[in-house]
Every structure is written in C-alpha cells, then in structure tokens.
C-alpha cells in the first residue's frame, strides 16, 4: 500500500467510525488536567470502569497535588487498592505530585516532553492528557488502538511508539485525538480481542482481517 493509498484508506475507515461513534470522549471521568493525569495512571492494568469508581471518592478527598503529599503512603495505597499495583501507583502519584508542586506550582504542564519526564508517565498517558485536557493533537495508543491498527492493516507491529507514529503519518492532525476514541469505542463494542463480531461490523467490507472473508 503506497503512502497516498494508505492515507486514503485510513481516512475512509475513520470517517465511517466517526459517524458510528459521533460523541466519543475519554472513558475516564475527570474535571481537570490533574484529575485526568491521576486517573490515567490508575488505569494501567485496570478497567476504566473500576478507576471511575475509585476516583469518585478519591477526587473528593484529594483536590490538588499538595493533598496527596499530606497523607502517608499506606493511606493512599488503601484509597487506590482496588485498581491493582497500588504500591507502585501510589509511589508514582506521590513522586509526580512532589514535582508538580516544586517545579510547576502545582499545575500540570501542557507540554508532551515535560509530561513524559514525570515518574510513571509514558507516551500514552502524556498523549491522553495533552489531547483531552488541553486539546493538543496527540494519539494515545492503548490495547484497542494497537489491536485494531494491526487488524486494519495500518501497521504490522506491537510496538506502541511505531503505531503512534504510523497513525500520525496516516491522519491529519485534527483526527489525532478522536482517532484513539473511535478505535477504542469500536474495539469495546465490536472488534473484540477474541471472537470479533465481523458480521455486525460497519467496516468489515474494508477490513483485511475480516474473518467472514476467510
């Protein structure tokens, strides 16, 4: 597939998905960039639904980075226990809050390179925050985006950075933020990891992995 045909194919796919899922938004509940940052960290190896249950109380208790620094690690660990890997997550949250207070006056930076320097913040988390909290074009590659990008033939790789860069090549910037949401929405509803519902898929005729073709 040439560069131009690849872009044309990707646009066709995403234009269909955009009509199927017109009101996409992050699955995580948040009101501020800081809350989104914390929620995204908690979402590692945890469902968004579980994180939303936890953050409903967490964000009432902790409003600002300074609030997280005031409590013992054991208390914060207890508050986020059900999200899994709670000790490491609590450690990352504490470290991040310390840096935010000392370096950024308690404010989350709206710069990708600054965000990825924070403890426990990778490219996906940084992309989620700058894209959804600040409206800066970025593509967050989660498990759904990785799976569908391969199935749709955009790329043949499990490397999330390569997938991110490939999607950026294929799509105009105004598609970047929502592209992650469209793929995630379709992955949750139709294109499951096991037994995808190809018979109900709106892009099955275009999909090179359509099991009905085999």
Give the pLDDT score at 155.
96
Average the pLDDT over 109-118 and give the result. 97
For residues 154 and 123, membership in a common domain is answered with: no
Give the pLDDT score at 169.
97
Write the CB contacts of 170 (distance below 8 Å, at least 6 apart in sequence). Answer: 6, 7, 10, 11, 154
The response to whether 97 counts as a known ligand-binding position is: no
Number of domains comprising the chain: 2
Q: Which residues are identified as catalytic? A: 124, 142
Q: Are 110 and 37 in contact (CB under 8 A)?
A: no
Instruction: Assign residue 11 the CATH number of its domain.
Output: 1.10.1670.10
Last residue of a domain, one of 89, 112, 132: 132
Q: What is the mean pLDDT of the chain?
A: 95
Q: 190 falls in which pLDDT band (50, 70, 90)?
A: very high
pLDDT tens by residue, 60-109 = 999 999 999 999 999 999 999 999 999 999 999 999 999 999 999 999 99
CA distance 196 to 147: 11
Residue 77, domain extent: 33-132
Residue 143 confidence (pLDDT) above 80: yes
Residue 210 confidence (pLDDT) above 90: no
28 part of a folded domain: no
- Cα 134 from chain centroid? 14
The response to whether 46 counts as a known ligand-binding position is: no
């Amino acid at each position: 597939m040439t560069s131009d045909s690849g872009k044309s194919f990707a646009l066709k796919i995403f234009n269909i998905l955009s009509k199927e899922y017109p009101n996409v938004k992050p699955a995580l509940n948040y009101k501020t960039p800081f809350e989104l940052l914390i929620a995204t960290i908690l979402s590692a190896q945890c469902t968004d639904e579980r994180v939303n249950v936890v953050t409903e109380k967490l964000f009432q208790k902790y409003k600002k980075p300074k609030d997280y620094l005031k409590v013992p690690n054991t208390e914060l660990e207890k508050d986020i226990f059900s999200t899994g890997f709670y000790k490491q997550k609590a450690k990352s949250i504490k470290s991040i809050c310390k840096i935010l207070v000392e370096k950024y006056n308690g404010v989350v930076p709206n710069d990708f390179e600054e965000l990825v320097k924070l403890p426990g913040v990778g490219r996906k988390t940084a992309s989620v925050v700058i894209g959804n909290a600040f409206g800066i074009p970025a593509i967050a590659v989660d498990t759904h985006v990785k799976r569908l990008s391969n199935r749709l033939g955009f790329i043949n790789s499990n490397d999330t950075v390569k997938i991110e860069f490939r999607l950026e090549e294929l799509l105009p910037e105004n598609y970047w933020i929502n592209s992650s949401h469209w793929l995630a929405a379709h992955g949750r509803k139709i294109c499951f990891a096991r037994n995808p519902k190809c018979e109900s898929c709106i892009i099955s005729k275009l999909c090179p992995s359509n099991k009905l073709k085999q």
